[in-house]
Amino acid sequence: VSHELRTPVTAVLSAAETLELTLGKDPAAAKRFLTIITRNASRLQRLIEDLLDLSRIESGRIQIKAEPVDLAAIVKLVVATMQPKVAEKQQQLSVEMDAAASHVVGDHDKLAQVLTNYVSNAHKYTQAGGAIRIEVGVEGDHARIAVIDNGHGIAPEDQERLFTRFYRVDSELTREVGGTGLGLSIVKQLVELQGGATGVVSALGTGSTFWFTVPLQADAPAESRAAEPSAVAPVAPAPVAAAETVQAGAHPTTILVVEDDPDVVRLIARHLQKAGYVVREAHSAEDALAAVAAAPPDLITLDLNLPAMQGDELARRLHADPLTSDIPIIVVSALAEDPALMNLGAYVLPKPIDQQALVGAVAQMLHGPERGPVLVIEDDADVRRLLEAALTAAGLEVVLAADGESGLARAGEQAPSLVLLDLYLPGMDGFAVLRALKEAEATANVPVIVISGNPEVKTTARARVLSLGAADLVAKPFEMDKLVQEIRLFLQA
């Protein structure tokens, strides 16, 4: 464990020291060192989370539910979550689901964690353009879930030890991909705690099959038990990765980027995804019309200089169609000063693209200017600054408070649209602040997202804050893009 911790810490500290020397002198080198810091900080985060999971399991403090679970819904959730990463490598992800295996007994979140681990590993260890398949069927009185890939495969001597802690196959690919060596050990224990089993079948050069089982419901609906196996069509790679947060019952804000230059598409997509939006792309007016007909977006960014049909003609067609006339359009063009653009009924942004201007325009077009600020109540100054920077970059107004008392005062003064609340504050803690916010008439209906680094966030703390009226509880360390996406979902609702 000490080696696994010291290696990324050393990389972070060394890169930070070198970054300090290169700031303002060599932007390219500074960016490389920032990448090293981010990569190793993420590695540390994964290791800490895995160690905490392992500690809870081995101490008996982990709570495993045994309740009816819809396995098909879990598969759908994991596919939606993993699809952006799969699309980046142009891999095919498909599902074959036997309806008779849908109704199982277990813990929804833990089963999703297990399946996500399997699919994530398949994605990482399968070459670009490869194939990954999830197969769900019945095996006796259990459902059997298998993740099959056509990747590099695993030698027989390594297969025997894969599910033991800290074991990683010694290969160049494994060193490149990284990992903690704890994921499969945690998977094995989580599955066994739910009455199932795990295993792997693999051959070098042909790929791997990782499987686990979970008990079927004894009283599952008869029609599902009698159903014939059904296949779900392959999930095709998406051109631009969407934000990874999937929240039940919420509709992420989707933006269609219509632009024929791939570099500009990537730039706009990156800005919008960092702001928490889901991005789709179209490289021509014809592609855009087809995309809108298939699934109307919440907003369109539009380049004017498109092949074949020009962007201004596309805007006129969309405005003339009653089914699409309400979709807001932002024209992103080097010809922003052209008076003729005023007749398009679109918001116009000039090229080169400014991130804050773009995100601010999107926020204004979608939500209007009347929305209140996001109130951040957090005692750690560094976390406050990071949250302020990320939310401001996402086009949101931000108000800060360093403790519970000042946070309540700001809430009374500023009429926030959402509150980000640290749970463990000096003096008045987050529980008391949350209770006060929900008791006050002015803030009773304001969504509150609680953030905390306490290990109890996955157990007792979550239940307590949700019972007090919190919208969600997010564990530290969190991924900023995912948090911004979640904030967007609540603001949209």
* DSSP symbol at 206: T
Mean predicted confidence (pLDDT) in 279-303: 92
- Residue 243 pLDDT greater than 70, yes or no: no
> Highest-confidence range of 27-36, 41-50, 174-183, 307-316, by mean pLDDT?
307-316
DSSP 3-state of 116: helix
**Which residues, listed in sequence order, are joined to residue 143 by a DSSP beta bridge?**
138, 214
Confidence of residue 50 (pLDDT cuts 50, 70, 90): confident
* DSSP symbol at 216: B
- Residue 224 pLDDT greater than 50, yes or no: no
Give pLDDT, residue 173. 44
Mean predicted confidence (pLDDT) in 4-23: 71
Q: What is the DSSP string of 334-398?
A: TTTT-GGGGGGT-EEEESSPPHHHHHHHHHHHHH-TTPPPEEEE-S-HHHHHHHHHHHHHTT--E
* Lowest mean pLDDT across 91-100, 125-134, 163-172, 459-468: 163-172
Distance CA 78, CA 118 (A): 10
Mean predicted confidence (pLDDT) in 8-20: 73
| More reliable by pLDDT, 436 or 271 | 436
Give pLDDT, residue 167. 61
* Lowest mean pLDDT across 144-148, 170-174, 177-181: 170-174
> Highest-confidence range of 14-18, 124-128, 145-149, by mean pLDDT?
145-149
**Which residues, listed in sequence order, are joined to residue 213 by a DSSP beta bridge?**
144
Confidence of residue 244 (pLDDT cuts 50, 70, 90): very low
Q: Among candidates 164, 155, 166, which has minimal Cα distance to 208?
A: 155
Confidence of residue 401 (pLDDT cuts 50, 70, 90): very high
Count CB neighbours of 205 within 10 A. 8
Tell me if the bond preceding 477 is cis, omega within 30° of 0.
yes
Contact assessment for residue 379 and residue 404, using Cβ atoms and an 8 Å cutoff = no
Q: Tokens in use for 362? A: 């999107």
Give 347-356's long-range contacts (Cβ < 8 A, gap of 24+): 351/264, 353/264, 353/267, 353/268, 353/271, 355/271, 355/393, 356/392, 356/393, 356/395
Q: Is the pTM of this model over 0.85?
A: no
**Which residues, listed in sequence order, are joined to residue 300 by a DSSP beta bridge?**
256, 329
- Residue 322 pLDDT greater than 70, yes or no: yes
* Lowest mean pLDDT across 130-144, 165-179, 456-470: 165-179
- Residue 222 pLDDT greater than 60, yes or no: no
- Residue 205 pLDDT greater than 90, yes or no: no
User: What is the per-residue burial (b if ≥16 Cβ within 10 Å, else e) of 12-47?
Assistant: beebeeebeeeeeeeeeebeebeebbeebbebbebb
Close Cβ partners of 190 (under 8 Å, ≥ 6 residues apart)? 57, 64, 107, 110, 113, 114
Distance CA 372, CA 392 (A): 13
Confidence of residue 227 (pLDDT cuts 50, 70, 90): very low
Each residue's pLDDT tens digit, 403-414: 999 999 999 999
- Residue 159 pLDDT greater than 70, yes or no: yes
- Residue 11 pLDDT greater than 50, yes or no: yes
Altogether, the residues listed in the chain come to a count of: 493
- Residue 231 pLDDT greater than 60, yes or no: no
Confidence of residue 168 (pLDDT cuts 50, 70, 90): low
Confidence of residue 417 (pLDDT cuts 50, 70, 90): very high
Q: Among candidates 354, 314, 317, 313, which has minimal Cα distance to 332?
A: 354
Confidence of residue 148 (pLDDT cuts 50, 70, 90): very high
Distance CA 198, CA 184 (A): 9
Give pLDDT, residue 436. 95
- Residue 106 pLDDT greater than 90, yes or no: yes
- Residue 121 pLDDT greater than 70, yes or no: yes
- Residue 448 pLDDT greater than 90, yes or no: yes
Residue % of the chain over a pLDDT of 70:
83
Each residue's pLDDT tens digit, 419-434: 999 998 989 999 999 9
Mean predicted confidence (pLDDT) in 91-102: 89
Mean predicted confidence (pLDDT) in 204-220: 90
Distance CA 413, CA 453 (A): 28
Domains contained in the chain, CATH given: 2-59 (1.10.287.130), 67-235 (3.30.565.10), 254-367 (3.40.50.2300), 374-492 (3.40.50.2300)
Confidence of residue 447 (pLDDT cuts 50, 70, 90): very high
> Highest-confidence range of 47-61, 103-117, 246-260, 464-478, by mean pLDDT?
103-117
Q: Tokens in use for 39? A: 């990569």
Distances from the Cα of 132 to the Cα of 146, 425, 458, angstroms: 10, 45, 30
Give pLDDT, residue 17. 74
Q: Tokens in use for 447? A: 């969504």
Give pLDDT, residue 49. 76
Q: What is the DSSP string of 413-456?
A: HH--SEEEEESS-SSS-HHHHHHHHHHSTTTTTS-EEEEE--GG
- Residue 140 pLDDT greater than 90, yes or no: yes
Give pLDDT, residue 370. 54
Give pLDDT, residue 229. 38
Each residue's pLDDT tens digit, 349-390: 877 777 777 887 888 788 665 578 999 999 988 888 888 888
Distance CA 488, CA 473 (A): 15
Mean per-residue pLDDT over the chain, rounded: 81
